[in-house]
C-alpha cells in the first residue's frame, strides 16, 4: 500500500466536464481537477499552468468570454461562481475553504475545514497576483488592483486596492 495518494494528474477529457462551452482554450500545463463539477461557458481562455481545482462537491462556474491568465489557482470546494466577460490576471488566487481555529492545543491544519463560496460579477477585472478569500462576493464591473487581498464583499463598479482591499473610488459611465 502506498503511503501517499494523489488526487489525480489534473488531466482530463472534454467529456468529463459538467459543461464545456465552444471555443474554450486550455493552454499547455493547465491542470483541471474534478471536471465533473466544473461548468465553463463559450469562448473562455485558460492560461498556461493555471489550476482549476474542482472539488468532489460544490460547483465551479466560469461564464462566457472570461479570460484567465497564466499560473492562476482557482479553488471551488466552497463553490466558485465567475461571471461572463471577467478578466483574471496572471497569478490570481481564489480559495473557498479555510481551517477553523479550535485553540492552541491543536495544529491549525488538523482542525476541520469550513467552506464559503466566492462570486465574481460580470465584467469585473481581477489584477495580477490578487487574492480573493473565502466568502467574498465581488459585484459587477469591479476593478481589483494588482496584488490586492480581498477579504470582504465589494460593491458593483467599485475600484478596490490594497491589503486588505478597500474601495478607493467608483467607476463612472
Q: How confident is the model at residue 25 (pLDDT cuts 50, 70, 90)?
A: very high
Each residue's pLDDT tens digit, 37-90: 999 999 999 999 999 999 999 999 999 999 999 999 999 999 999 999 999 999
Q: Taken in order 65, 48, 18, 118, is the CA torsion positive or negative?
A: negative
* CATH code for the domain in which residue 148 is found: 2.160.10.10
d(CA 72, CA 51): 6
For position 11, what pLDDT does the model report?
A: 85
Domain assignment present for 109? yes
Q: Is residue 30 part of a domain?
A: yes
**What count of other Cβ atoms lies within 10 Å of the Cβ of residue 108?**
12
Inside any domain, residue 6:
no
User: Which residues, in sequence order, are CB contacts of 26 under 8 Å at separation 6+?
Assistant: 32, 46
Query: Is residue 80 domain-resident?
Result: yes
Please give the tally of structural domains in the chain. Answer: 1
Choice among 34, 48, 75, 99 that is catalytic: 99
**With 50 as the cut, is the pLDDT of residue 30 above it?**
yes
Residue 75 lies in a domain: yes
Give the range of the structural domain holding residue 39, as residue numbers without chain letter: 14-170
Contacts of 121 (CB under 8 A, 6+ apart): 83, 86, 137, 138, 139, 140, 141, 142, 156
Q: Would residue 42 count as lying in a domain?
A: yes
Is there a catalytic annotation at residue 48? Answer: no
- In a domain, residue 40? The reply is yes
Is residue 94 included in any domain, yes or no?
yes
Q: Rounded CA gap, 104 and 161, in Å?
A: 33
Q: Strand 113-115 to strand 118-120: parallel, antiparallel, or no bridges (unpaired)?
A: unpaired
Q: Summarize pLDDT for 125-148 with one digit per residue, the tens.
A: 999 999 999 999 999 999 999 999
Amino acid at each position: 500500500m502506498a503511503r501517499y495518494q494523489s488526487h489525480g494528474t489534473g488531466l482530463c477529457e472534454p467529456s468529463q466536464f459538467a459543461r464545456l462551452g465552444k471555443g474554450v482554450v486550455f493552454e499547455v500545463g493547465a491542470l483541471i481537477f474534478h471536471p465533473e463539477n466544473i461548468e465553463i461557458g463559450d469562448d473562455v481562455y485558460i492560461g498556461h499552468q493555471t489550476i482549476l481545482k474542482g472539488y468532489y462537491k460544490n460547483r465551479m462556474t466560469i461564464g462566457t468570454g472570461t479570460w484567465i491568465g497564466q499560473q492562476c489557482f482557482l479553488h471551488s470546494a466552497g463553490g466558485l461562481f465567475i461571471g461572463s466577460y471577467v478578466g483574471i490576471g496572471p497569478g490570481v488566487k481564489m480559495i473557498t475553504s479555510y481551517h477553523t481555529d479550535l485553540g492552541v492545543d491543536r495544529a491549525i491544519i488538523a482542525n476541520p475545514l469550513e467552506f464559503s463560496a466566492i462570486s465574481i460579477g460580470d465584467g469585473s477585472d481581477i489584477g495580477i497576483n490578487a487574492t480573493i478569500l473565502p466568502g467574498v462576493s465581488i459585484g459587477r464591473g469591479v476593478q481589483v488592483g494588482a496584488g490586492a487581498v480581498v477579504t470582504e464583499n465589494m460593491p458593483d463598479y467599485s475600484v478596490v486596492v490594497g491589503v486588505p482591499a478597500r474601495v478607493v473610488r467608483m467607476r463612472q459611465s
